[in-house]
């Protein structure tokens, strides 16, 4: 309980630090949204650009702009998009379901394939089958997700289907999940190998427990603990990977929205997406902590002290 409360107490300052760094980086990056919106090189005067900067609040000091942004974002008001004048919250709300469903499908696929692959590699350690699996995973890990996505399109995968069909969701989710499958399966293999050589496993075998009971009743559950801790790390990886995957498959999600906002130097939209991504990442860490405690009762007893 104390551990959970301490984690929750760290969320606000962590979120504040993330948004502060991102706000500074976004605003010092090359490019002026006022000039881009006005259309430099088409006879636009400096007065028009200056007027656009005043309307967008870009003429104020950076610190003042950040404090104003913090005050509004605390009320979930991320401002108005510099691209189309719409509410940032509205634009994110339209794109969020697509990315959320894609990320959820990718996460389920990653764990569904990584756990049995890691278990197979651990149970057949130092065999030809495990060696071939290592080679195959290494090749797949070195193959960029965008290359897989383009190959899928070449093979006839639906473009721009999004949530309209199961295949339209499954194919981009599989491309997004592949790097996670490789990483998680390697962690699963190492964790299971360590558990299989533990004293309590030898004790269970000495008492006459079958290999099935040893594997599923004792080893696999304990080997899942390190994998669960990686759940929070999957959130930023999936969000960043969705930028490319959504571009290739024409999915109108957060990745596509962020890409367009970056090209337009749409600061409010970029900050709204950054805040949402940070919240998802911190939420994933808290969720992993909670799941870790459920799988290991010792942590619950320690946290209650």
Domain assignments of the chain as residue spans, ordered by start: 92-225+237-264
Q: Is 255 within 8 Å of 3 (Cβ atoms)?
A: no
- Residue carrying structure tokens 């088409």: 42
Classify 81 in phi/psi space as left (phi over 0), alpha (psi -120 to 50) or beta: beta
DSSP 217: I
pLDDT digits (tens, 9 = 90+) for 255-296: 889 988 988 888 899 999 999 988 888 887 777 777 666 666
Q: Is 122 within 8 Å of 189 (Cβ atoms)?
A: yes
Residue 225 predicted with pLDDT over 60: yes
Q: What is the mean pLDDT of residues 179-190?
A: 88
β partners of residue 80:
87
Residues 71 and 75: their CA atoms lie apart, in Å, by: 7
47 token code pair: 């007065």
Please state the φ and ψ torsions of residue 87, each to the nearest 5 degrees. -65, 135
Residue 126 predicted with pLDDT over 80: yes
Residues 6 and 253: their CA atoms lie apart, in Å, by: 33
pTM: predicted TM-score of the whole model, two decimal places: 0.79
252 token code pair: 């109108």
Please state the φ and ψ torsions of residue 67, each to the nearest 5 degrees. -65, -40
Q: How far apart are the first and last CA of the chain?
A: 8
Residues 182 and 256: their CA atoms lie apart, in Å, by: 25
What's the confidence (pLDDT) of residue 164?
A: 58
Specify the CATH number of the domain 92-225+237-264: 1.10.3720.10
pLDDT digits (tens, 9 = 90+) for 8-35: 888 889 999 999 999 998 888 777 776 6
Residues 195 and 222: their CA atoms lie apart, in Å, by: 7
Output the average pLDDT for the chain.
81
Residues 65 and 87: their CA atoms lie apart, in Å, by: 18
Q: Tell me how many degrees the CA angle 67-72-77 measures, rounded to the nearest 5.
A: 145
Residues 199 and 255: their CA atoms lie apart, in Å, by: 47
Residue 42 predicted with pLDDT over 60: no
20 token code pair: 């502060």
Q: Tell me how many degrees the CA angle 233-2-104 measures, rounded to the nearest 5.
A: 25
Q: Is 78 within 8 Å of 275 (Cβ atoms)?
A: yes
């Amino acid at each position: 309980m104390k551990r959970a409360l301490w984690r929750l107490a760290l969320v606000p300052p962590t979120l504040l630090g993330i948004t502060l760094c991102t706000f500074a980086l976004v605003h010092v990056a090359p490019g002026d949204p006022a000039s881009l919106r006005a259309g430099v090189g088409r006879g636009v005067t400096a007065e028009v650009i200056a007027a656009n900067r005043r309307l967008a609040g870009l003429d104020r000091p950076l610190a003042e702009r950040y404090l104003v942004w913090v005050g509004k974002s605390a009320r979930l008001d991320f401002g108005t998009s510099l691209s189309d004048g719409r509410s940032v919250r509205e634009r994110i709300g339209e794109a969020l379901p697509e990315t959320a469903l894609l990320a959820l499908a990718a996460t389920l696929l990653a764990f569904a394939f990584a756990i049995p692959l890691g278990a197979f590699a651990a149970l057949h350690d130092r065999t030809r089958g495990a060696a071939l699996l290592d080679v195959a995973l290494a090749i797949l890990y070195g193959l960029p997700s965008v290359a897989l996505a383009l190959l899928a399109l070449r093979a006839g995968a639906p473009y721009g289907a999004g949530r309209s069909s199961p295949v339209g969701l499954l194919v981009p989710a599989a491309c997004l999940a592949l790097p996670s499958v490789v990483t998680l399966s390697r962690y699963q293999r190492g964790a299971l190998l360590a558990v299989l050589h533990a004293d309590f496993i030898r004790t269970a075998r000495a008492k006459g427990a079958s290999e099935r009971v040893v594997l599923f009743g004792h080893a696999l559950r304990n080997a899942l603990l390190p994998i669960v801790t990686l759940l929070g790390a999957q959130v930023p990886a999936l969000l960043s990977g969705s930028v490319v995957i959504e571009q290739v498959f024409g999915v109108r999600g957060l990745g596509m929205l962020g890409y367009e906002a970056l090209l337009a130097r749409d600061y409010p939209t970029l900050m709204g997406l950054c805040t949402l991504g940070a919240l998802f990442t911190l939420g994933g860490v808290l969720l992993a902590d909670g799941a870790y405690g459920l799988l290991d009762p010792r942590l619950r007893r320690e946290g209650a002290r």
